[in-house]
Amino acid sequence: MTSALLRCVLACLTSLAGCGSVSVHYRTPDSINGAPVTVHAAQAKGQADREAPATKKNSRYKNLDRAMEIQVGTALFANFDTVLRLDSPILGVGVPIDFEDDLGFEDRANLFRLDLRYKLGRRHRFDISSFSITRRANLKLEKDIQIGDQIFPINLDVSVALTTNIYKGAYRYLFAMGDGWDVSASLGLHTFGLGLNISEYATTGRESSENLTLPLPVVGLGGNYAFSESLRLGASAEIFGIKIDTFKGYLVDIRLSLDWDIWDHVGAGIGWNGFVMDLEIKDEILGGDLLRGNFVYKYQGLLVYLRIFF
Q: Tens of pLDDT along 26-50?
A: 444 444 444 454 444 445 445 544 5
Is residue 56 in some structural domain? Answer: no
Sign of CA dihedral 45, 50, 52, 56: positive
pLDDT tens-digit map of 233-244: 999 999 999 988
Backbone angles phi, psi at 224, to 5 degrees: -135, 150
**Do residues 27 and 127 both lie within one domain?**
no
- At 52, the pLDDT band (50, 70, 90 cuts) reads very low
Task: Report the number of distinct structural domains present in the chain.
Answer: 2
Alpha carbons 78 and 143: distance in angstroms, whole number? 26
Alpha carbons 133 and 112: distance in angstroms, whole number? 9
In this predicted structure, what is the pLDDT of residue 13?
45
**Do residues 225 and 298 both lie within one domain?**
yes
**Do residues 153 and 131 both lie within one domain?**
yes
**Do residues 120 and 21 both lie within one domain?**
no
Instruction: Classify residue 119 by its DSSP letter.
Output: E
What CATH number is associated with residue 139? 2.40.128.90
Map residue 1 onto helix, strand or coil: coil
Altogether, the residues listed in the chain come to a count of: 310
Give this prediction's pTM. 0.78
**Do residues 184 and 229 both lie within one domain?**
yes
Mean of pLDDT values over 51-69:
76
Closest CA to 107 of 275, 268, 299, 303: 299
Mean of pLDDT values over 148-173:
92
In this predicted structure, what is the pLDDT of residue 50?
52
**Do residues 225 and 269 both lie within one domain?**
yes
**Do residues 72 and 33 both lie within one domain?**
no
**Do residues 110 and 33 both lie within one domain?**
no
**Do residues 156 and 261 both lie within one domain?**
yes
C-alpha distance from residue 250 to each of 31, 222, 261, 276, 277 (Å): 92, 19, 36, 8, 6
Is residue 57 in some structural domain? Answer: no
**Do residues 90 and 7 both lie within one domain?**
no
What is the residue range of 31's domain? 2-51
- For the chain, the C-alpha Rg in angstroms (whole number) is 36
Instruction: Classify residue 256 by its DSSP letter.
Output: E
Is residue 58 in some structural domain? Answer: no
Is residue 164 in some structural domain? Answer: yes
The pLDDT of residue 123 is above 60: yes
Is residue 295 in some structural domain? Answer: yes
Residue type, 224: N
Partners of residue 134 on adjacent β-strands:
163
**Do residues 173 and 283 both lie within one domain?**
yes
Higher pLDDT, 177 or 24: 177
Alpha carbons 215 and 237: distance in angstroms, whole number? 18
- At 66, the pLDDT band (50, 70, 90 cuts) reads very high
Residue type, 150: Q
**Do residues 35 and 69 both lie within one domain?**
no
